[in-house]
């Protein structure tokens, strides 16, 4: 039982770590690149405008998709590693 609890705690903290990293990327592309950091990225030209504009209208959405699939894939591996998969 003690072993089970330790495993459970390790599984959950690994999940929390994945979530934290994912949310940092999530915030960086949307609130960062697309909004707050846009003036600093103004020098990078994308199709007649700047990188921040591209992130606001395209890049953040594409990154969101990548985040979810990577998270789902990592969690599936984690489920198997800890034997909690269905």
Residues that bind another protein (CB under 8 A): 8, 11-12, 15, 18-19, 22-23, 26, 30-31, 34-36, 38-39, 46-50, 52-54, 56-58, 60-62, 64-65, 67-69, 71-72, 75-76, 79, 83-86
Report, in Å, the least distance between residue 16 CB and another protein: 8
CB of 3 vs another protein, minimal distance in Å: 15
Residue 83, phi then psi, degrees to nearest 5 = 65, 30
Q: Are 74 and 15 in contact (CB under 8 A)?
A: no
Asked if residues 26 and 67 have their Cβ atoms less than 8 Å apart, the reply is: yes
CB of 49 to another protein, least distance (A): 5
Nearest to 34 by CA among 56, 9, 49: 56
């Amino acid at each position: 039982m003690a072993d089970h609890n330790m495993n459970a705690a390790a599984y959950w903290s690994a999940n929390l770590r994945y979530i934290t990293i994912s949310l940092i990327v999530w915030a960086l592309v949307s609130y960062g690149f697309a909004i707050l950091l846009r003036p600093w990225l103004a020098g990078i030209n994308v199709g007649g405008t700047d990188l921040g504009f591209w992130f606001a209208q395209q890049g953040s959405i594409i990154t969101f998709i990548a985040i979810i699939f990577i998270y789902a894939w990592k969690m599936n591996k984690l489920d198997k590693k800890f034997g909690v998969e269905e």
